[in-house]
Amino acid sequence: MIKQNKHRKTYGKDFKLMAVRMKLEGGYSNKAVVETLGIPCLRMLKRWVSKYRKYGEGGLEEQRGKMSAGRPRKRPLTAPEEMHKRIRRLEMENQVLKKLLELTGRDVLPR
């Protein structure tokens, strides 16, 4: 499936898999696959083939928008550590909000 937005086309997993299989199993050259399927550049096909070889079919799935949760902790936070983390986050939020009010010309504290 090919979706086209304002700036570029996005290709679905099935389309990418078909292109990769044409290259690897069908014996087509990179240029032949690109011309046959209307892929805009050779580099895109090479990237798909590389991901397929490294990760299998799962490597062809869309990764944009899937945020990483970061590196997992080696040990869970204790209750005081969790509270300290939450307090730091809330203090930062307050600083950001105060700065926003200052920049928009409003008083930080109501009169």
- Output the domain CATH number for residue 46: 1.10.10
Closest CA to 96 of 78, 108, 84: 108
Number of structural domains found in the chain: 2
Identify whether residues 18 and 51 lie together within a single domain. yes
- The answer to whether residue 83 is domain-embedded is yes
Residue 100 has pLDDT above 60, yes or no: yes
Q: Is residue 69 part of a domain?
A: no
Domain that holds residue 102: 78-111
Find residue 98's DSSP bridge partners: none
Q: Three-state SS for 62? A: coil
H/E run at residue 9 = strand 9-11
Q: Indicate whether 55 and 102 sit together in one domain.
A: no
Residue range 3-24: average pLDDT? 84
- In a domain, residue 71? The reply is no
Residue 111 confidence (pLDDT): 56
For residues 63-67, give the mean pLDDT.
72
The verdict on 54 and 83 lying in the same domain is no
Model confidence pTM above 0.75? no
Same domain assignment for residues 51 and 86: no
3-state secondary structure of 87: helix
Could you give the residue ranges of the DSSP H alpha helices within the chain? Answer: 13-24, 30-37, 42-55, 79-104
